[in-house]
Amino acid sequence: MKEKHTPITMLTAYDYPSALACSSNPLIDITLVGDSLAQVCLGYSSTTELSLSEMIHHSRAVARGTTHPFLVADMPFGSYQISDENTARNAVRLIQEGRVEALKLEGGSEIRNIVRKLTEMGIPVMAHVGLLPQRHVSMSGYKVQGKDAESARGIISDALALQEAGAFSIVLEAIPKELAAFVTEHLRIPTIGIGAGSQTDGQVLVWDDMMGTWAGHQAKFVRRFGDLKAERDSAIQKYAEAVKLRTFPDDSESYTIDKTTWEDITR
């Protein structure tokens, strides 16, 4: 697809229905069980709070609803930092129990040995550079990366090192569009952008941001393609009103018993 300049579409899913929705459209190429799961589904304040077992639980549900899209899951914070052996075991669990096909890891050249190790095990690895939400504290918040020369050069050399280590693709998050275009041009592997301009090989958005169900902070790079929150809230309002007014259920929504049988019983 990169060679043919066909943009790659990636969308997150966190459960069976969202996975079915991604699978129902042939234009979606990759479903990502992102660790944004932490905030948008589980109510945590950061992805660092998400455990491996929670990720496996949700990945399994997504896998049950996934047909054609390539299925990728994030390795949660803490599941690939402890030791090589622990990383390998956690990766195998995500593949076997979480039933995903590939794993995504946040980090630059400092994780290249992990990327190489998993790749050699036959696990396709998607890299992720730029803004790294799992490091939001040490990065002093969720801020655009690669704005100064040193940071931009760092992202370029990280991307090259991760490609060299065997990554099959790389997410570029919240970096200037010029830098994303440059990285895309200089890599053999496809780049998937989020807040990285239009010149990456593909794009990814978080389900709730895209659908307009997320009422929290909206990053500059989010476009709401739907307004499901308004739709959902109005349905709740109508349902609650109908119950309060006893207009729900009506006769067509209720069961009845044969009149003579009922007279016989109540006689």
Interacting residue ranges for ligand KIV, rule: CB under 6 A: 12, 32, 34-36, 74, 171, 194, 204, 206
Tell me whether residue 42 or residue 235 sits nearer to ligand KIV (CB atom). 42
Question: In the window 107-166, what residues touch Na ion (CB under 5 A)?
Answer: none
**Any contact of residue 35 with Na ion (CB under 5 A)?**
yes
Q: Considering only 35-43, 174-182, 215-223, 224-232, which stretch makes contact with Na ion by CB under 5 A?
A: 35-43
Return the SS3 of 25.
coil
CB of 32 to ligand KIV, least distance (A): 6
From the list ligand KIV, Na ion, none, pick the one residue 158 interacts with, judged by a Cβ distance below 5 to 8 Å according to partner type. none
Burial of 36 (0-12, 13-18, 19+ CB in 10 A): buried
Residue 159's binding partner among Na ion, ligand KIV, none (Cβ under 5 to 8 angstroms by kind) is none
* Number of C-beta neighbours around residue 97 at 10 A: 16
The least distance separating ligand KIV from the CB of residue 20, rounded to whole angstroms, comes to 18
Instruction: Give the SS3 label for residue 8.
Output: strand
Query: Burial level of 230, CB count in 10 A (0-12/13-18/19+)?
Result: exposed
Choice from 22, 34, 145, 190 touching Na ion (CB under 5 A): 34
Q: How far is the CB of 210 from Na ion (least distance, A)?
A: 15
Which region, left, alpha or beta, applies to residue 110 given φ > 0 means left and ψ of -120 to 50 means alpha? alpha
Q: Which entry of ligand KIV, Na ion, none binds 170, CB below 5 to 8 A by partner kind? A: none
Burial track 10-26 (b if 16+ CB lie within 10 A, e otherwise): bbbbbbbebbebbbeee
What number of CA atoms fall less than 13 Å from residue 23's CA on the CB side? Answer: 16
Beta strand segments in the chain, E: 8-12, 30-33, 70-74, 102-106, 125-130, 169-173, 191-194, 202-205
Q: Is 173 in the site for Na ion (CB under 5 A)?
A: no
Is 173 considered catalytic here?
Answer: yes
| Catalytic-role residue among 54, 106, 120, 173 | 173
Q: Is 208 an interacting residue with respect to Na ion (CB under 5 A)? A: no
Interface residues with Na ion (CB under 5 A) are: 34-35, 74
Active centre residues (catalytic): 173
